[in-house]
Amino acid sequence: MLVKYCFFLSLFISTDAFVIFSQNLNSEIHVNCDTTSYKLNEYVDSLSRYEIQMGKKKNLHTDDERLKLAFYVALSHYPELHHKKISLKLKSIKSTMQAQPSPSFIVKRKNKRGYSIFVNNNPALTGLNYEELSFNGLVGWIGHEFAHLIDYSSMNNRELLGFITAYIFDKRTMRRTERNADRETIKRGLGTQLLDGVAFFEKNKKVSKRYRKRKQKNYLSEEEIIVDIKRNCH
């Protein structure tokens, strides 16, 4: 059975990233709130402070300081994840990022479960290089992955296995899951970051047709993101 589950998991590691939106629309519609824009130069000295605050059980397998900082800035929006075991790894995958429970979750208690976020380091597979994303967009992109972890961490092992199976075999589950992750990202105050990432995706002519189509099918539209940002304005 374990082999079978691992097979499912390996399949599961294939669909994540973002929504496709019109960059023009993004610039035409004024969003009255949630205007924070994270700039790398304002955080460049913050890594050690973040590691003290949130670094427990976090393993960031990269030398990319910008990526590490984006990870922690996004994580600061998800306090429930601060004590969870989370690793970040660069890997050759067919999307920009993916979030998943560590495969050993099957034999572990829910509270001992670890999670992984993979970041694609082989742009040839998607046409998109995460290093070209703005810092703000990178924070939004990682924030979407953390929204998945919130979802996974609410499930017991049986529910998680059922969910993974459904995600792989049922397109509606995939779409619902991705759209909900976008909504959660916006609720956490990372709506404009999400839009930034999407605008980058949209304007990037190198993105493969297949990848673009997959994103358009499964994620919130730009209009929907803006509506959600406004809905969460206070």
* Binding stretches for Zn ion (CB under 5 A): 16, 178, 181
Q: How far is the CB of 178 from Zn ion (least distance, A)?
A: 5
Residue type, 138: L
Closest of 184, 90, 104 to residue 146, by C-alpha: 184
Rounded Cα distance, 32 and 80, in Å: 28
Supply the minimum distance, in Å, between the C-beta of residue 68 and Zn ion. 21
Minimum CB separation of residue 48 from Zn ion in Å reads 30
Task: Give the alpha-carbon dihedral of 165, 168, 172, 174, to 10 degrees.
Answer: 100
Q: How far is the CB of 232 from Zn ion (least distance, A)?
A: 19
171-185 helix and 157-169 helix, angle to the nearest 10 degrees: 110
Q: Based on the number of CB atoms within 10 Å of its own CB, is 105 exposed (0-12), middle (13-18) or buried (19 or more)?
A: buried
- Minimum distance from residue 51 beta carbon to Zn ion (Å): 26
Q: Which is nearer to Zn ion, 82 or 176 (CB)?
A: 176
Residue 87 bridge partners (DSSP): 59, 116
Nearer to Zn ion, 73 or 150 (CB): 150
Shortest-Cβ-distance residue relative to Zn ion: 16
Whose Cβ is closer to Zn ion: residue 181's or residue 198's? 181
